[in-house]
Chains A and B, each alone.
Chain A
């Protein structure tokens, strides 16, 4: 029934794969510029279509009914999920898509292991080792991504969950997994035990869970990026096991690019990846002692509107709270009202505001905020002292001056948007409860700061309405 059938080792298949991964590379290159990124994504998708079609032409592909079922189920689940997800829930959606990719790699390794067992006897090490690698890494990625999803979706507590001795336990578990892999490899000439293989698979699943649970929700973007790289490497290892060049190239591309992205993200937080993964950052013990009551000022929407309307320059500092409240459109309307009054409005974007780099840009672009008004943190910080009002909307840790001047703070050294340098600060927040990392923010208690409590969208809407009446 295939139109043409290609031998698994045919040159034609290889040429089609070369076309596919050239398109991947070109697509990623285009993805690095704002004007061409959308086209780049489409180009990479075309590459993927070619790779899948080419593989379906292989003469050794059977079980068409099951393949059709798998493709149909995947499409029926994936398309609506991608279409309907809210922009604010994007990070956890990427985590889920990443997880299923890792799960697929682990399942494929298991099936290939069983296939090799059925061939009888000796499994060559250059097939068995990639199988084990892909299985372990894929499984860690699947379960780790699910935990990351649970934390971001707030199904699980976003605070770090750290059991005493957990790092030691994780280390021992990793050693046990490695020992299991070595035993399987030593046995490769006889018949390696499938029971042990499944035990290692389960061990990797447990490790995937335990590895992500102690990491606070604020660090999840970096974890997702790391797991993205992991899944890429698992796919590449599956390519080694199945002797498939498209898998090797595409998986490795993602593995290396994902690693770079992970390093860039942790650099933006001024922390090493090791520190981020193993410190239990933001665990209750790290919070600054018992919650002392400190005095702060609060204001109403009316007062906020007056302060804003009589400013020359206003900078808006958005954070995850804006995303949660879906306040981006209301923010844009408020900014429009201010601009009609001759106030210059800009946005200060912290590289890790929200739950992923670029998260704020995506949301504000959705609300039609002009690209030129979005200023990167490093660019706008020197101008902060000239800002009459800095309006913080649902951002917390990324504005905490303790990162600059309190060496005991867990976030010491992290670059921040220097809201404390502005002439006046208005902070929109639900309550005085500490932020995602569980650290109290000194900014809220400063003399120049006024708190505007409530849901970000509702508060911004009230301020905008008050501006119209001025």
Chain B
């Protein structure tokens, strides 16, 4: 990818983020912050890539810690969000019949 292409992707992703988020009831701000927090755990991929390329002991230690950190960010983030939202989901329970599946 050229740098210019990367900036095109960056700009479009930024607009997507602005637009997707702008219509959220305040109630959902905490869960949504937590969910986007989990999504930046994507940085784990960077850990996988740098450790994949390294033969140096220090790099391997740094990379392993980075992978552990990224994993905590992802699994912790999504699980905590799920717990928060589970509390909302219980409320508007429609009469039986149209459960998922």
Contact = CB atoms under 8 A, between A and B. Distances in A.
Contacts of A351: 26
A42 interface: yes
A83 B83 CA distance: 8
Contacts of B85: 37-38, 41
A82 B17 contact: no
A103 B66 CA distance: 7
Interface string B59-73: 110111111111111
Contacts of B9: 245, 248-249, 252
B40 A251 contact: yes
B28 A358 contact: yes
Nearest to B2: A126
Given A24-B39, A261-B29, A357-B30, A365 B90 contact: yes
Given A82-B83, A94-B80, A238 B46 contact: yes
Contact of A38 (B3, B46, B63, B88): B88
A-side interface size class? 35 or more
A432 B81 CA distance: 35
B33 A225 contact: yes
Interface in A15-68: 21, 24-25, 27-29, 31-35, 37-38, 40-42, 44-45, 48, 51-52, 55-56, 58, 60-63, 66-67
B45 A44 contact: no
B72 A97 contact: yes
B-side interface size class? 35 or more
A118 interface: yes
A94 B82 contact: no
Contacts of A62: 51-53
B46 A356 contact: no
Contacts, number: 379
Contact of B29 (A66, A251, A358, A370): A358
A112 interface: yes
Interface string B17-55: 110111111111111111111111111111111111110
A215 to B, nearest CB: 17
Contacts of B81: 41
Contacts of A256: 13-18, 21
Contacts of A42: 82
Interface in A363-387: 365-366, 368, 370-371, 374, 376
A115 B71 contact: no
Contacts of A356: 29-30, 33
A107 B84 contact: no
Contacts of A458: none
Given A93-B76, A362-B87, A48 B38 contact: yes
Most buried by A among B1, B28, B67: B67
A108 interface: yes
A27 B81 CA distance: 12
Interface in A200-254: 224-225, 228, 231-232, 234-236, 238-240, 242-254
Nearest to B42: A250
B76 A82 contact: yes
A110 interface: yes
A35 B92 CA distance: 8
A198 to B, nearest CB: 12
Nearest to B100: A39
A349 B27 CA distance: 9
A44 B38 CA distance: 9
B97 interface: no
Interface stretch (A72-80, A164-172, A420-428): A72-80
B68 A97 contact: no
B37 A71 contact: no
15 contacts: A34-B27, A38-B89, A48-B78, A74-B68, A85-B80, A90-B30, A97-B77, A104-B44, A110-B62, A239-B6, A240-B3, A247-B43, A261-B33, A356-B33, A361-B88
Interface of B: 1, 3, 6, 9-10, 13-18, 20-54, 56, 58-60, 62-92
Given A244-B45, A366-B87, 6 more contacts: A38-B82, A44-B35, A115-B50, A243-B1, A371-B92, A374-B27
A-B interface, 5 closest residue pairs, ranked by CB to CB distance from nearest: A74-B71, A70-B67, A256-B17, A82-B79, A357-B29
